[in-house]
Amino acid sequence: MLDVVRTFEEKQMKKNLPQINVGDKVRIYQKVKEGGKERVSSFEGIVIAMRGSGINRRVTLRKIASSNVGVEKGFLIHHPSVSKIKILKRGHTRRAKLYYLRGLVGKRAQRVKEKGVLAEAIVWEELGSDKKEAVKIEESEEESGEKKSGGKEDKKGPEIEAGESGEPKKSEDKEPETKREKKLTQEEKKPLSQDEKLSSKESENK
């Protein structure tokens, strides 16, 4: 009988799950049914306790909500409603239970010593109707936000065409109209020669 139960539990268990430790900052996505509709809600917090083993593995997350109120929520990792698990930060702790965070207030209630720097978030996701499981690695939101804020768009100037020799062609700037007008006025002001004067007088007499 025990063998039958174990085989059934093994079939229901999720595979390729990332290792979650106490002190890690985790975000868990859970399916919620409301009437005929289904939506996905997420809960992000620090892992303060882990209990059970196998299919009964349970994780307790804690976060500080608005008006400095602590909120805790427990999740059965292998429950079919859990569709996605995202590990944002790795924590370094010396305790199996972080219940002392309940007595802290403000930023200290959210501070746990980090274990190195996790440049990329570890993501486990249940994909499709076939319930295929996959572990992905994504950039953490903090680093992507820094890249967006820090990266400036390069303003490119006007493109310069290269000649046959590979050297950039010099742009032939057209003379402005003011310069042309000045040249015309200077040509008109030039003194006329004798032949031009005679030709102009003959045209006037006619």
CATH number for the domain harbouring residue 40: 2.30.30.790
192 is a domain residue: no
pLDDT given for residue 194 in this prediction: 65
pLDDT of residue 29: 94
CA distance 17 to 77: 9
- Mark 186-206 as b/e (b = at least 16 C-beta within 10 Å): eeeeeeeeeeeeeeeeeeeee
pLDDT attached to residue 14: 87
Would you state the pLDDT for residue 68?
Answer: 83
Residue 107 lies inside a defined structural domain of this protein: yes
Task: Give a yes or no: residue 94 inside a domain.
Answer: yes
In this structure, what are the phi and psi dihedrals at residue 36, rounded to the nearest 5 degrees? -95, 0
Decide if 180 is inside a domain: no
Structural domain contains residue 152: no
In a domain, 103, yes or no: yes
What pLDDT shows up at residue 9?
84
**Nearby residues of 142 by Cβ (< 8 Å), 6 or more positions away:** none
Number of domains in the chain: 1
Give me the pLDDT at residue 30, please: 93
Per the structure, the complete domain to which residue 88 belongs is given by 2-141
Spatial CA neighbour of 60 closest among 74, 44, 46, 41: 74
pLDDT at residue number 138: 59
Would residue 112 count as lying in a domain?
yes
Over the chain (206 residues), the average pLDDT of each successive run of 10 is: 83 87 92 90 93 91 88 92 90 90 82 73 71 57 54 50 52 54 58 66 66
* Euclidean distance between CA atoms 116 and 133, whole angstroms: 27
Domain presence at residue 162: no
